[in-house]
Amino acid sequence: MPCPNDPWRLRHVATQDRQRLRALLDDYLQELSAFGPVDTAYRYFDLYFEDADRSAYMIDVVDAGAWTPAGFALVNRHACSGLPVDHAMAEFCVLPDVRRTGLGHRAAGRILALHPGVWELGVSQFNAAAWSFWCRVTERFPNVETISAGERRILRFESPDGERRIACEEG
């Protein structure tokens, strides 16, 4: 559902956007390979379109009068720590040309609000920019716990109840 009066939107990835999401994911995984080994096959990709416990979101911006993908997020219930969680940010990417504009912060905040409960997200200890980003995003939540797990740092926190509408979340 379009949100024509807003410069960005968050939406569930539709079936017709599956290939576009896969291409964005492939580029993102290639970028992550600078911080260590990455499984580029991403064998769980199809489950984001089959499993009710997984959500795939597209972050769009208006470019030349049309909605254009500017990033994506993959949410599931598989904690990096092995502890029980309600939600985990499996992948989150904002394309390089819209980084440092506040879009990522707003989109991440919106996703966290849409899924209240205990969250985890893991970041490579070698990816300082991602760690800084997620620390800023989660600073509004009380009792954020940091867990070290090998080459990963994990942020664990609780997102309070938020709005659950997502046909199109306006920004």
Q: Which two tokens stand for residue 90?
A: 């499996």
Q: Which domain holds residue 35?
A: 8-170
CB atoms within 10 A of CB 42: 17
β-bridge pairing 117-124 and 55-63: unpaired
Task: Return per-residue pLDDT of the chain as tens, 171 residues.
Answer: 334 345 899 999 999 999 999 999 999 999 988 888 888 899 999 999 999 999 999 999 998 889 999 999 999 999 999 999 999 999 999 999 999 999 999 999 999 999 999 999 999 999 999 999 999 999 999 999 999 998 899 999 999 865 443 334 445
86, part of any domain: yes
146, part of any domain: yes
User: The domain that contains 100 carries what CATH number?
Assistant: 3.40.630.30
12, part of any domain: yes
